[in-house]
Structure 1
Amino acid sequence: MDDTGSARAELSDLQHQIAEARQRLDLTLEAAGAVGSWEWDIANQRLTADAHFAGLTGQDPLAFANGVPTTQFFTGIHPEDVRRIRIAVAGILAGAEVFSKDYRLLKDDGVIRWIHAEGRTVLDELDRPLRFHGTLVDVTDRKRAEEQLRVAQTAGRVGTFEHTDGYGTVAVSRQFCRLLGLHPTDVLPVRTINLLVHPDDRPIIDPKLPSTPQPERNIEFRITRADSGETRWLARRGEYLQDLDANGLRYIGVIYDITQSKRVEEQLRLANETLSESVRERTRERNQVWQNSRDLLAVVGVDGIIRDANPAWRAILGYELAKIIGRSFLELITQEELDAASRLIEFDPQRLLTSTDLSLTAADESLHWFSWDAVAEGELIYLYGHNITPERKQAEILRETEALLRQSQKMEAVGQLTGGIAHDFNNMLTGVIGSLEVMKRRIANQRYDDLDRFMNAAITSAQRAAALTHRLLAFSRRQSLDRKPTDVVPLIESMRDLLSRTLGEQISLETVLPADSWQAITDANQLENAILNLAINARDAMPEGGQLIIQVANKTLSGRDIRGIDGAVVGDYLRVSVIDTGEGMAPEVIDKAFDPFFTTKPIGQGTGLGLSMIYGFVRQSGGHVEIESALGNGTTVSLYLPRNAKTWAPSATDIGVVTTPMGSGETVLIVEDDASVRLLVVDVLEELGYSAIEAGDGDHAVPILQSGARIDLLISDVGLPGLNGRQLAEIARQTRPDLRVLFITGYAAMAASRSEFLEPGMDMITKPFALDDLATKIRNMVASG
């Protein structure tokens, strides 16, 4: 049989199926005349019904005429529909006015019939339900006709086509061409195909495919046949696939004629309009809102059990509705959000529409975020969940972008830091090198007068360089901190004279130091420097005089308190605030206050490292810094230092140890890779009366330590090539467990916290150090051994 004969045969089959659908439609309309009615006396819990009702439900008509218990209303209902109808009737008994449901009746012989029930309640003057009456009609044939129409829509010849993104032509089948009234061919232009589609309908071929595969549903459209000018209804379905030969997508689809089914649908629509207007409107609204909504809709009882849910639960979360209905809403909520979810579904008829953001766990264990609204009606709560997961993901992307921006700003700060360091160090090196060269020339010319002035200039420049190095380490949080429990109140009281002299007579100093202030875990020396720096900044902000307040307070920070504070954590802190009545700072100045080398002072009057050093010191101590300021209203800088929660008593080292006498020939092993530093330490040892042994690195020091030579003290740089100083000390104590160890460090990340780095019998001194300080350390450690 040729293609034309085959098409005619399939068209004949289609027409036969449509004729059968029409016949079933007629039977449906005829059966509608056999309507059963009922009346439910709500107060007396009695049900009366006519013979048609009894016949449809397979019960005794005489009993119904005399009245039966209301439970017999549900007799014969299919077990899978009973829960749904009971919930709907419960709504009527609670005050709802309209009842309209389709459900199945299961006959004794196993036959299933479809029933449409429609009813209303009669209310008294107080709006309380008195009676519930309505009608039943058998709609089994209508249901079957609808199913036949669904099958008929997919029957008949199917035309196939394939379109690759970026191409102006489409590969088509011969039947595709016949459905459009075109001469059979293998390839057609996109423009030619789409010109046949009604201008109000979606085109057959999408000129531009999406960048990623999209879900596809049936698309219906009208065409004007090219050969006859006849208008026909066609449907399209297909799917997007990754193209194997090109970088893009291709769409493989089919089209088929649905003109006849469209006509039958129109007839069914006209027939359904004979139902009551209220039922039709409610059905339409349910189909449009409940069935097609992209939001999660649910009906929840006062016990939190989901009574009903719309198809969006399956589409978004992957749950079958049968597994959602009858389940507690709270089972889908994360543990952290249970309280908020419980408040959302609390029964309160007077509650206005509320919104709560909650996440639900999907069937695949992923989290989806929804903005929930809840309304109470009767004893039910209606939930509306708008999917905000895409917005959450966009917010996460925004946070990641902001993090990248902050990283870029940090790199900009590093560049600024490098330039500032080079500028300041060049100035200081000029003072050191220039002074030494002048002294060298004068000594060569035997001119010894005025050498002290150049020596002092060199020492001053070197000390400035050392101070800058310490500030840089503080800014980078890499300085060696001696963190231990500290009573901050007496520390500040001991600084009062120094602060008063620093501030001058025009500025009054006030302190608020409660006696019950907590101890803080911090480095006392660094804290003193931080408070002094803040006091100097405050003084410079009050050129005409003013008031400076140093305030100490116990502070417990919660999750809400630390929101938006970089690096802050929940806990107990001792807050040290320095408050001035000066000029204040603009918001843009506050934003840059902790940046390295940022200063509002004229060139040469400020390094710009003061606040950045304080910030680094406090952050390294486990706390954080806050600035509150406004132009003309002064500035408050608060240091939050971690609270010491343990009892502590000062040791002899903390109180101060009396200087010990000179050495008596004890042996000290000095391990230092820098020859100049090693030379200075050896010279100090010899002046103190000690015997010195030198080693340039850990590898040369190990044999000495493992020998039988007497060694009373080990002095080692932390940052050695090969074995570092801490590893060398551990090796030494394997054979000399009581050996005293003094570490020298310029910078070592591992030694940032002395309390964690040092063991009993160990101490540390930071480069660059004064020779007198080194001598004192050595004498005390040897004497304490």
Structure 2
Amino acid sequence: MLTVDRKCSISTRSYLALLALCLMLPILIFVTLLLNQQIKLERSRIEQDLLKESRSITATIERDLRGVTSMVETLAQMPTLQQGDFEAFHQQASQITSRYGIGIVLNDLAGRQQLNTRVPWNTPLPAITGTDAMRTVLETRAPYVTDRVTGAVSRKELVGVVVPVVRGNEVTHFLTASLRLERISDILNQAGVGDGRTATVVDRKGKVLAVIPERGKVDAASWDWIGKAAAREGVAASTHGPGDSRLTSGYSKSGMTGWSTIVSQPGDEIDGKLARDLWSLILVGTAFLVLSGLLAAALGLRIAGAAKALTAAGRALQSGGVVPPVRTSWREANEVGLALTTAFRRLSEKSEALRTAEEQYRTLSRSSPVGIFRTDAEGRCTCVNERWCEIAGARPEQALGNGWSDFLHPDDFSRVFAEWRRSAVENRPFRLEYRFRTPTGAITWVLGEALIERDGDGSITGYIGTITDISENKQLERQLLDTKQQLVRAMMAGGMFAFEWDALSDAVRRSESCGTILGLDDSPQTDTGRNYIGHIHPDNRRGFTDTLTALRPERPNYVMSYRYIRPDGAVAWLEESAAGIFDDGGRLTGLTGITADVTARMAAEAILRDSNTALEARVAERTRALTDAARELSAEIRRREQTQAALLQSQKLEALGQLVSGVSHDFNNVLAVIQSSYSLLRRQTGSMDQAKILDMAEQAVERATGLIHHMMAFARREEAHPRKVDLAAVLRESEDMICHTAGSGIRCVFDIQAELWPSVVDPSRLNAVLLNLAANARDAMADGGELEVSARNLPRGEGPGNAAGNGTDNGGWIVIAVKDTGAGMTPEVVARASEPFFTTKPPGKGTGLGLASAHDFVSQAGGTIRIRSAVGAGTTIELHLPRAALSAEEEEPPLNADLAKLSGSATILVVDADENLRTLATQLLRDFGYTVIEAQNAGTAAALAHISERLDLVITDVALPGASGAELTGRLRLDRPNLPVLFIGCYEQDTGPDGERLLRRPFGRAQLAEAVLERLGRLPKPAAPAAASASAPDKLRDRLRNPGLRDAYDRWKALRNAGGGLPDRDLFPSDDTTMKDNSFMVEPDGTGGYRYVRFGDALAERLGRSLLGEQAGDDGDDLGSAGASYRRCQETGLPSYEYARYSLADEVPLLFERLLLPLSDDGKRVTHLLGVAFFTELPKLDLQPRI
């Protein structure tokens, strides 16, 4: 019998006392630690407060000194000081600084005072040698704040702010602002410090600059601790304060001045405050501790009494006696006593019920028709009944433990245990059909079922279940399956299937043979009546539903035929034999029957009834309707795809335009710097060779600028600016880009008539149109070919305006033709070629905007566009542009004709955020004699303009940081209403305010000078245009690259000018073998063609054969010659020049040039054409490979 060991246990009262002690002891320790930590935190807070105050005072002093520094730097840039007018500067500085109580001193590099605003002008000033501060400023070129010094004039203690005065790129003087120490004291008083604290400011050497509050006169030795601590940063305690007092101080060092700020508080004051706070907390905590002990003792007595009552009730329950009721003041003890009494009563009742249940379970287990088993949580069998042993053919002891698994069929072993584990995991009953194999080898099919048993905590304690012998059921299932399969095979052979329809759920169940008959791939055996009726042919659907409606219990059977529409659209004839199922009320509840495929039979019957013709007609009509609808749908899909592709291409072009615009802006800035640099270098160049190099460099810059305009025009990021242009020059500039666009495999030929007339067009848009046409020609010649660009004049009466009768044929036309040898176009494509977004290229390969943009460009210029094309014969696009008459009044004199006349004198403010552009523009203006003030932003510009006495012009960028050029102009004109402004921009969309001049980068010296004079109103009037000089430059000769061509042209021109007529066939001397070997001659044959009558040996060797005696037709020959080129030269009587650049495989690139010269036997009529041709080898980097 178990007993209580009283020696090893203690009473409840003792436990309560220990509990109270254990609770109070950690609390006391925690409170002690907490108080200690609180004291540390409070002390740290006071120290951080001292440091914060010192840093705040330092920041206030720095803020004030930065304002003084900014003012002194602004004074250092004043024009009077920069120009050396010290008297005027003394007057201006005195007016500015008198309001702030600041003295301004100007020293030269030797330290001598040049002026001092604390004394009148011309007052003798003491000579002072250079100081350390000035040497520091001279080395760093940055402002410097001095330590405490004695003023040479005022003899007072001061501090100074020294700023370098820079003229050009050299420091010439030092400008110093002197501040009295009272200013620092005023700053300390304004900032203020806490009660009982002292704020001190010392310089780098530890000299005191200011102290608050004042402590009276203190010996310098008393402040030695401050000088020693001045180099610190942070918080520290010191015992070397005034009077050897203990102080706690916060130190802050200024990064700008090197001064230190110390905020101090006596340590005795800090300790006293902390001690008072600590004793208050200790007294309150002690009072609460005593009160808690008294309450704990009273509660312990009550709990001990309740524990005794529970002990008595427990002993009664142990002995089996009646448990007495427990009544105390402790509610939980009363509840435990009640639970003990109730437990005693229920325990007695359950013991009796358990004995009864065990007896019933033994009886049920012996008489049950199913096998019963029980296992533990691990699946080990703990008991089985007799029926289980009979089914398994085992003895009870063989089934215990894991022995029951020996009777499982090997093929079902893994399946049974897998399902067992899943049921445990998913917390559901186990149910599975599996096989037992008896020791004799007999197979028994069983249905196993089991439930999970759990304890009060929900943990699995075991399983209880049954097994039922279902061997007979399995045998019947196999027989039924065999019968069903035989029936399905029979139905499939007979082309029929069975079905059942439930009217209440509208569910239809069918046999497997329905798939073939109904045209179903997956042979679904379930369907709905509504869906099935939906597949019945509309002509038979009404009869089908009427038949079902007419069924009655006395007439439940029916047989009918109807057409069924399969999912693939095929129609099958079905014959259905079924019977209706009715409930007791006579209402139809379902159908059951057989459906047979009678399509073949119905087809034979249809043939016999001769109804096939009508059926085919209906099918054909339906097919045509579907075909037409499909055709319309296909066309609509194609139209939408084309529209979508055009939209996507437009978006790509817009993105390309944005990219090109941004890149062009950056390149314009770079080119502006380069061009300005070349302009400055030209003034310092003395030799002709250097000048020539600069000429080539400036031409390259102009070429790069033109390329940028071409890019902008091609990306449609520039607005149209029509003006009178030299079309021959524009075409020459476009030659390289056209050849690059054509790419390799395409031979480029240019035939530009000499003395081509001008026209009023936008050259950038013309370049873009030519590039688009070149790209179209390239795409049309996938296998290579020839691209010819020609330009010629059409006299009045031969242009499109005269033919149309619209009266626009004023003075003639210029025809620019782009011809390719590609596949050509049909008349239908030519008719739609100019429509926007119309293209014959594959999706994603074209926008359909090339010819549309060309048509728009020519229409705006007042001309027309003509397209000549045929399949297999190539395409020619002709741009007819009206001639622009060039009158003497419209000629503009060159801007750089006389740069001396573009110089002047004025004060100009240049505002630009880009330092390179601003510096170069300033230097250019100074070269012209102007006084220039620089500013990098709008704020600085406004400040400089405000302090400048004279300002004649402002040159500003359109876009500035913080404010635009227009906003800056508005601010400046508040003080100077008529101040002229010149705006500078890079973007095409950059514009100045209304009526203001805008100069675009890059620009040259002459353009800048002309724009400045125009804004100042001093632009000289242009002189009257002089008569054309005989020595005017020859544009055709400038295009000739080979010296032999230039010699031939010069000889032809000299003979023509000398005789007044065309030269004859003896143009070259007989001994000039170079010309004869590289020339050929053709003559008209009277039928519109031309025949070679002479052919040079060098040309024959280059071509591999001679063309002597052959005809030159319109399709061209080995020389690239075409009858059209010869015909133009004969009709105009002017020379014609063509060239092409190409390379074959890895050979050296070649430049082919051909010059046609008209000759005459009588000096008037062209009777022969002399051609001079040269092949010149080019460097590999001179061109892109092309044929």
Please give the TM-score of this superposition, normalised by the length of structure 1: 0.34
Higher RCO, 1 vs 2 (CA within 8 Å, ≥6 residues apart): 1
User: Which structure has the bigger radius of gyration?
Assistant: 2
Answer 1 or 2: which has greater helix percent: 2
